[in-house]
Amino acid sequence: MTSTLARIILFSFLFLLFIPNLTFAETKTFIKEYTYQASEYDSKVSCRALALEQVKRLLLEELGTYLESQTEVKNFQMTKDQITTLTAGIVSAERIEETWDGKVYWLKAKIAADPQDVVDKVNSLHKDLQNARELEEARKMLKEQFAEIEKLKNELKTDPTNEKKIAQYMKAIEGMNAVEMFRKGIELSISGKLPEAINELTDAIHKNPQYALAYAIRGHLYTKLGKNDNAIEDSNKAIELDPNSAFAYVGRSYIYFRLRDYEKGLIDANRAIELDPNYSYAYVIRGALFSCIRNHERQMEDAEKAIKLSPDNALAYLCRSDAHFGLGNKIRAYLDMKKAINLDPDSAEVYNVRGLFEYTQGNYEEALDYTNRAIKLDPYNAQAYHNIGVLYLRKKDYSQAVIELNRAIDIAPKYSHAYANRGIAYFPLGNYKQTISDLNTAIKLDPNDDKINTVLYVVLGNAHYKIGNEEQAIRDWKSAAKLGNKSAQTLLNKKGIEW
């Protein structure tokens, strides 16, 4: 392939696909009751919301205590609070019974779960610090909302007619509902139900239009569905509402990465690291962006930092693998690739890496299979379509290569390598004008990639020669010769042309 490993690997905040391991023989059920004494400002709806959140907390704590006793969970070296936070993104509480007499609301609810399934998912989430970070943020916000609600409730006992306090109390209730919708959105996204997750996050935003984190997460999910305009709009809004959110800047940096807008992506990644120097994924994203501009020394620094911060981060090892590859350390690149595969064998990024590895071994059918699996997991992955296009180029199926590269360019209109390879694919099809158009676009988008452009100028000259424009062909060959292309130098020397 004409690009380095990270131009093939897509680093992202992908949501994990969990595969249950049915070691435990039965589902465990936990049941709790909760009674809520209503204030005169509470309705049945607000009482239900407050009681349900409290009973969920009790149920999750009981489930967490049970899981904490399991040997496998002990090996994860997590606190009970961490286990409870992660299980909140995995299991849901179900309301069984309720009563309401206008003053007292009573609720019974349950959680039913396969403990081994939950253990496996907790382990995966524990490694996926991005989703864990989101769940922890939701837990903190709920705790803050409850504290605010209790504070206002107590204040209203001594000043029951204070309209400002009443309005603040009702707003706090709405805020709590918004956080619960946010948490539900995260839960759905972890399960791979992205449209449903977006709907929950949209409801959270309607409840609380100032909810910056909900905009940031929804923007990320829009990216996964290929709705890049919506993604950028949401990311911009998240940053507008919370200009100190490292998460929002990382999210927008990732979107720019997928759109191949490296300059903007680096600006946002730098800002995220400035705001939170311990944010592992920010270094991964910045490392990927450095790779795309061929700065593998800086990429290596960022990958090492990400691994130090998150030793179980598969994407960090992929980033370091690519840095080694770009620096010529192929054995170390392979070892880091294997480490990433062991940490997360079923992610789109890893399938892309496996596809690349099979490609380097000449196993093109296996490479196609792995890359197609990556697309199945991430259907708007421009890099994966680009990779398949290059594989079809290698197989000399030029028409199919053009089809795949069209898809890559549709998703990422600034993808210089996709234009380069599509231009090359058009040449044997006899479409020389399209070859010229695509190669000129590729060079314009990435004028400093001498390693690739030296080849592109040769093909560009050949295309101009084919349509009878020998003068321009010579100019292109001269450009290739000056960049060190031996075939162009030999051709010009035979023609007696100085370059």
Q: Could you tell me if 360 and 489 lie in one domain?
A: yes
Q: The whole model's pTM is what?
A: 0.70
Tell whether 297 is covered by a domain: yes
Q: Which carries the bigger pLDDT value, residue 59 or residue 227?
A: 227
What is the pLDDT of the chain when averaged over all its residues? 84
pLDDT for res 215? 93
Tell whether 224 is covered by a domain: no
The predicted-structure confidence for 234-248, as pLDDT tens digits, reads as follows 999 999 999 999 989
Range of the domain at 302: 278-345
Task: Decide if pLDDT at 178 tops 90.
Answer: no
Give the pLDDT band of residue 424 (cuts 50, 70, 90). very high
Q: Could you tell me if 288 and 329 lie in one domain?
A: yes
Number of domains in the chain: 3
Give the pLDDT band of residue 123 (cuts 50, 70, 90). low
Tell whether 449 is covered by a domain: yes
Q: Could you tell me if 419 and 470 lie in one domain?
A: yes
Domain at 94, CATH number:
3.10.129.140
Instruction: Check: CB of residue 165 under 8 Å from CB of residue 149.
Output: no
Boundary (domain end) residue, out of 102, 126, 150 = 126
Q: Could you tell me if 481 and 359 lie in one domain?
A: yes
Q: Could you tell me if 474 and 341 lie in one domain?
A: no
Residue with tokens 């199945």: 376
The predicted-structure confidence for 489-499, as pLDDT tens digits, reads as follows 999 999 899 88
Task: Give dist(CA 293, CA 316) in Å, integer.
Answer: 18
HEC-encoded secondary structure of 80-140: HHHHHHHHCCCCCCEEEEEEECCCEEEEEEEEEECHHHHHHHHHHHHHCHHHHHHHHHHHH
Instruction: Check: CB of residue 408 under 8 Å from CB of residue 378.
Output: no
pLDDT for res 126? 54
Residue with tokens 């403990």: 115
Running DSSP on this structure, what letter comes out for residue 230? H
Residue with tokens 């707003």: 171
